Structure 1
Amino acid sequence: MLLNNYKKYQPSYMFFAALLFAQGVAAAPVTDNLDVGGALRARFDYDPDRDIQKLSFDTFRIDVNYNSDTWIGSAQYRFYGGSYPYDYVDSIGDVSFPAWAWIGYKFDESQQVQVGINQMPFGLLPYYGSTFYLGLGNVVGLEDVHNLGVKYIKDDADWNLQAGFYPSDGGQWKGTSRGGKSFSTNVAAADDYVVDGSDNDEKNKLVLRLARKLTIAGWSSEIGGSLLTSTLENQDTGKDGRRSVFAAHYLGKNGPWGVQLQATRQHMDPKNAGTDKVVTFGSFDGTFNVASKGNLYLADLSYDLPGSYWLISGVKLYGNYSRFDKSESSFKDSERFILGTSFSFKELWIALEWLHGKNDPYLGGSSYTQSLGAGGSNQWENQIYANIGYYF
């Protein structure tokens, strides 16, 4: 009995043991320009409807950053496995992949170029809101996406211009999925369990983003627009389809208050062997269908509490809503609402969130493979989620 319990909770024990060790570790400055660090994180999931109440190891990651007057670079590699929701593999590292890995050159203080696996400059940056769990923008392949290519950035006092060209995605690394062995959500080859799944290879992705910085009624603001276009090369039919995405966004900050808004139109015209109404995407060792055509709307409101409270500091309160309206009339729309807080507790950074979703592949047991396509349970599902991290 004791041995079985140890095996069941071994990843959690490993996390806390490693955390005790990490308390004496800090980011290591290898040189004046090079730093090596990382993070060790646990997660807590509570879903009474599915009888889930788990404290688990979440992630171990290694970060490398370089910064000089001219050369810059950044890389991050992540390790998962051995505990929920990756308890189908035996050990930490059985699911692993880079989040990004790029080098860059600074022409001057306002201009730079990055080459490698870098973040696609689309919409609100770096994230579509304040949440740790992220919204539906992430699972439709737009938020926090890092692909292999080259990106140019021009950032001055008034304007931010970014242009990226990505011949391919960030590759497939270690895991069990056919097309989801990656950090970023990209067009993918469907696993066998995905009904109406497709096998597309997204190539030659061109992304443009232009944003204007200004002050509106006391709000430090950014108003911008983004464009994405790419080729969807179907591996079954040998025919090329197209993906086109347009977005407008607003970012505002006034004292402790923050607002983020975005409206996005995604139009995919695949040449699948089966239905063209969905395209398969994948990430984090899984694949699922996404409606080919739809509108994504999101809104985020946040408030930074001033000062410290005993051992707690840096408290942020936030609410985030995202909705994916699908153009196909028979498909059920997807929604996700997150109400949460993030804060530091001594050396730990913690996010605690209430997740409320409808036809959401990651919430409440709605269909993982079809929720963003034709739809899932079509009812509101609830979960409590927390992430506890030590960053060094």
Structure 2
Amino acid sequence: MPAYGAGLLFSILFGTSAPVLAVKVSDHLDLGGAVRVRVDEDASRGIHKWGLDTIMLSARYDSDSWIGAARYRFYGKDYPFQYVRRFGEISFAEYAWIGYRFDSSRQLQLGLNQVPFGLQPYYSGTFYETLGNVIGLEDVWELGAKYIQDVGDWNLQAGYYARTAWPGQGTSNGSTYSIVVTPADASVAGGSRNDERGLFVARAVRKLELGNWDGEAGVSAMSSALYNRDTRRYGRRYAYAVHYAGSNGPWGVKLQYARQQMAPRNAGDSRSVSFGGYDGTFNVASRGNFYTGDLSYSIPGKFVGGWITGVKVYGNYSLYDKSQKDFRNSQRFILGTSFSLKALWIAVEWLNGRNDPYLGGSNYAQSAAAGGSNVWRGQFYMNIGYYF
């Protein structure tokens, strides 16, 4: 989108004062979506971009027994997808599932639903997410079945996922919303061609009070098969995690440790496995420890005559500590704030990455594996969304 077009869209959204509500089709069915604009500033790389980021269409069904939700996303033409000619040439489903409530404490979900691993639904309060997303652990949606049950102070979840999401549209093998094991594009040096199948996952969480802090502590574990298209052999993927999330008045904290171990049967180097998503593929170190810590503070009240509400400031650090000694560790650090401006929801973040495929112009294909530039790089990011 040209700058004037983005400016016009922003002006329209900024001037909207209607409440941000989905379209209520019936007592049980709501239709909605979002339009988002993004701003990217990185003077060191000469990046001064803003334009249309995403259009999302969604549906949600909720009755006493039957539940379900779906969301589809569209991208293209503006940064970082300026290489395609038209908006919408890159598109994919985020989720699409149906479920049944047996009672108030038990339900079953079928379809493209979220894999219950670690902190849910996200590992941090940031918009850009953590490195857990890059290595295929955070915000992952796959095709399968998930059972959820509350037992006293416990929440138990277990799932079986036959395969990753069906491919969307794009220019890459990585044409999914979630970053998942994906056969590498031809441009990825040392790339592998694996498919993840038969993912088993279990998560147990207990409500926990620590002094004035109310929250939860939990453990998660997963196991899956990695089928290599070249060798026609099966490898394995294992991961486990422990986490804590708590709040004390306006303060919030999230902590997680996870271990990921992959033993692929690649035709070449097995020290990395190719992952993909958001119209790209890249390599990820086969084994490593993941750490993340998130601290947030919600500022009560309304500001600027009631225009600004829901202000939150936050900071997050995440690290993928790779087991391969000659691989450079990947790190990400984010400081930011989010708030509502009339009908808009806005996130403003200072993003910093080291050997991060998405930040600072490091090596996209290799940063999460052997490493990239191995220096910290920062950039400014803002996302402005109108959700309906």
Decide: shared fold, TM above 0.5: yes
Pair 1:23–1:94, CA change in 2 (3 A): farther
Cα offset, 1:157, TM superposition = 4.3
Matched, 1:387 2:383: yes
Q: Is the 8 A contact 2:13 2:344 kept in 1?
A: no
Partner of residue 86, structure 1: 81
Letter in 2 for 1:62: L
TM-score by length of 1: 0.96
Distance 2:205 2:239 in 1: 17
Partner residue, 2:277: 283
Q: Give the AA of the match of 1:339.
A: L
Distance 1:189 1:23 in 2: 45
Q: TM-score, normalised by structure 2?
A: 0.97
Aligned amino acid, residue 260 of structure 1: K
Equivalent in the alignment of 1:300: 294
In the other structure, the counterpart of 1:205 is 199
Q: Which runs of 5+ in 1 are unaligned?
A: 1-6
> For residues 21 and 146 of structure 1, what CA distance do their matches in structure 2 show?
35
Counterparts of residues 1-392 of structure 1 (less than 5 Å): 8-9=2-3, 12=6, 15-16=9-10, 19=13, 26-178=21-173, 180-310=174-304, 311-392=307-388
Partners in 1 of 2:161 and 2:345 — Cα distance? 33
Instruction: Indicate the RMSD between aligned Cα atoms, in angstroms.
Output: 1.4
Q: Distance in 2 between matches of 1:309 and 1:23?
A: 16
Helix, strand or coil: the match of 1:222?
strand
Query: Is the partner of 1:91 in helix, strand or coil?
Result: coil
1:206-244, Cα deviation, whole Å (9 max, x unpaired)? 010001112111211211100010000000000000000
Q: Matched residue of 2:103: which SS?
A: coil
Structure 1 pair 108–335 and aligned structure 2 pair: CA distance change class (3 A) = same
8 Å CA contact 1:257–1:302 kept in 2: the answer is yes
Question: Using the alignment, how far apart are the partners of 1:42 and 1:391 within structure 2?
Answer: 12
Describe the SS at the equivalent of 1:295: strand
Paired residues of 1:203 and 1:231 also in contact (CA < 8 A)? yes
Distance 1:193 1:274, change over 3 A: same
| Percentage of identical aligned residues | 55
**Residue aligning to 1:4:** none
The Cα of 1:19 is off from its aligned counterpart by: 3.6
* C-alpha contact (below 8 Å) 1:153/1:161 kept by paired residues: yes
- The answer to whether the Cα contact below 8 Å between 1:45 and 1:53 also exists between their aligned partners in 2 is yes
**SS of equivalent to 1:107:** strand
Q: Distance in 1 between matches of 2:271 and 2:91?
A: 31
The alignment covers a number of residue pairs equal to: 385
Which amino acid in the other structure matches residue 287 of structure 1? T
SS at match of 2:338: strand
